[in-house]
């Protein structure tokens, strides 16, 4: 049910309209809480979104979902609702250093003792399955509108909308992205580092089979190039390019971009060819570190709680980890404590601290390390990749953490 003007009351109000917000709504609902999902006013769906599955173009925005995300979505009955013909398992990952004698580091599912390392899922596929599940969630109401005020007191929380209606609840969950309105209403400070890069995302057909292998090249001057496997002989490009190069790439045709990528991909994948209809996007990259994950009667999840460089492909996975841990903390709380109890929310913040800090440190540190265009640094980092590749126990621990195991 979607409404626009009324007074609403529920246990939880979730602000946001992406996959993380929708997953949180389903998670809370299936845990027995009544949920109000506050989404922005609807916009007309693009024509391609209304076409049949056979004609639907490949989405340029994809996620590499780990085992934590998979298990959470499976538990919510969402994974089985995906169009699994458009989901690609990642069986191995090859990381290539820079320079003529660049280092190499490889991970594979066999070495990790799992069936697959991750799954590549399109944004539209994931959101379509979540939307379908929400239609059958009896204790979720979807409210469309713009929030203008957030109030919290001992009596409860309230979100006031532009049209004057109000959502009363016990707990507000901010799942509204990197520029979170909820976070701003709570006066939570933020450490913000612009990478002066943009992620250029698009899709190609490849001449050679990819065999479920994800490739990543740390190129220093040209940024970080990743080609992720899609079903069939297709790959998804995520090129974290410096802004000047990003401008050039966005002004070129995708055919010219495919030729550029040949310097990296031809040996592994053969010549690339743009998928039709051609589509490309550029996303500005930044590190966002809020000073807190919680405030009185408020919990942040997803990009509202942390935004990291996409070089590890784990920004979305951190968000699913947030939902998993928040729901677990609420399940384990003492009977005398409510879902917005200060100590309960503090436990959530503590539970997420190590995982989030480690991913922030790893992604930001790698971006700085591989962005340094000095020969001694280049030699050390390539040596480090080659050394790590020869340490199976260390590799296995890294893979286990990345997979959410």
The per-residue pLDDT string of the chain (405 residues; one tens digit each, 9 = 90 and over) reads 444 456 899 999 999 999 999 999 999 999 999 999 999 987 665 555 444 445 689 999 999 999 999 999 999 999 999 999 999 999 998 888 775 556 777 778 877 778 899 999 999 999 999 999 999 998 999 999 999 999 999 999 999 999 999 999 999 999 999 999 999 999 999 998 999 999 999 999 999 999 999 999 988 789 889 999 999 999 999 999 999 999 999 999 999 999 999 999 999 999 999 999 999 999 999 999 999 999 999 999 999 999 998 876 778 999 999 999 999 999 999 999 999 999 999 999 999 999 888 888 777 767 666 665 545 555 656 556 565 555 566 556 665 656 566
Q: Which residues of 143-168 are buried (b: 16+ CB within 10 A; e: fewer)?
A: bbbebeebebeeebbbbebeeebebb
Q: Residue 323 corresponds to which tokens in the numbers above? A: 């939902």
Segment holding 163, helix H or strand E: none
Q: Residue 270 corresponds to which tokens in the numbers above? A: 């053969």
CA separation for the pair 378, 371 (Å, rounded): 9
Q: Residue 256 corresponds to which tokens in the numbers above? A: 């010219």
Q: Which domains does the chain have, with CATH numbers?
A: 2-47+126-191+288-366 (3.50.50.60), 62-122+194-285+372-403 (3.30.9.10)
In this structure, are residues 220 and 98 in contact, taking their beta carbons and an 8 Å threshold? yes
Q: Residue 210 corresponds to which tokens in the numbers above? A: 């990819």
CA separation for the pair 11, 34 (Å, rounded): 5
In this structure, are residues 206 and 184 in contact, taking their beta carbons and an 8 Å threshold? no
CA separation for the pair 304, 126 (Å, rounded): 19
In this structure, are residues 237 and 61 in contact, taking their beta carbons and an 8 Å threshold? no
Q: What is the pLDDT of residues 367-402, one digit of tens each?
A: 666 665 545 555 656 556 565 555 566 556 665 656
Is it true that the peptide bond before 277 is cis, omega within 30 degrees of 0?
yes
CA separation for the pair 299, 170 (Å, rounded): 11
DSSP string for 102-118:
--EEEEEHHHHTSS-SE
Apex CA 17: angle with CA 14 and CA 23, to 5°? Answer: 65
Q: What is the pLDDT of residues 274-323, one digit of tens each?
A: 999 999 999 999 999 999 999 999 999 999 999 998 876 778 999 999 99
In this structure, are residues 399 and 107 in contact, taking their beta carbons and an 8 Å threshold? yes
Q: Residue 264 corresponds to which tokens in the numbers above? A: 């990296």
For residue 72, how many other CB atoms are within 10 A of its CB?
A: 22
């Amino acid at each position: 049910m979607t409404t626009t003007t009324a007074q609403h009351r529920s246990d939880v109000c979730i602000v946001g309209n992406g996959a993380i917000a929708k997953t949180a709504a389903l998670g809370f609902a299936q845990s027995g809480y009544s949920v109000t999902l506050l989404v922005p006013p609807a916009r007309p769906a693009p024509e391609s979104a209304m076409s049949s599955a056979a004609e639907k173009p490949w989405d340029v925005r994809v996620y590499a979902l780990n085992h934590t995300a998979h298990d959470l979505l499976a538990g919510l009955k969402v994974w089985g609702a995906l169009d699994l013909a458009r989901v690609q398992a990642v069986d191995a990952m090859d990381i290539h250093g820079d320079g003529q004698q660049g280092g190499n580091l490889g991970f594979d599912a066999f070495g990790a003792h799992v069936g697959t390392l991750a799954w590549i899922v399109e944004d539209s596929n994931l959101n379509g399955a979540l939307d379908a599940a929400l239609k059958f969630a009896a204790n979720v109401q979807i409210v469309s509108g713009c929030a203008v005020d957030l109030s919290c007191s001992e009596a409860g929380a309230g979100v006031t909308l532009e049209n004057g209606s109000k959502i009363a609840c016990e707990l507000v969950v901010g799942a509204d992205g990197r520029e979170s309105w909820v976070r701003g209403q709570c006066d939570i400070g933020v450490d913000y580092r612009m990478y002066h890069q943009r992620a250029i995302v698009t899709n190609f057909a490849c001449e050679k089979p990819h065999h479920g292998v994800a490739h990543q090249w740390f190129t220093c001057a040209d940024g970080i190039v990743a080609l992720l496997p899609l079903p069939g002989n297709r790959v998804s490009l995520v090129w974290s390019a410096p802004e000047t190069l990003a401008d050039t790439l966005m002004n070129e045709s995708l055919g010219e971009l495919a030729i550029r990528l040949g310097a990296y991909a031809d040996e592994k994948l053969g010549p690339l060819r743009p998928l039709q209809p051609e589509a490309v996007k550029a996303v500005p990259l930044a590190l966002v570190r809020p000073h807190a994950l919680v405030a009185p009667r408020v919990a942040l999840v997803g990009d509202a709680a942390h935004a990291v460089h996409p070089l590890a492909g784990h920004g979305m996975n951190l968000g699913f980890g947030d939902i998993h841990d928040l729901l677990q903390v609420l399940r384990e709380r003492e009977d005398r404590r409510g879902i917005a109890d200060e100590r309960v929310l503090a436990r959530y913040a503590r539970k997420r601290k190590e995982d989030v800090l480690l991913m922030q440190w790893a992604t930001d540190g790698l971006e700085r390390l591989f962005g340094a265009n000095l020969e001694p640094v280049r030699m050390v980092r390539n040596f480090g990749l080659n050394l790590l590749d020869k340490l199976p126990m260390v590799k296995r621990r890294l893979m286990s953490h990345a997979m959410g195991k």
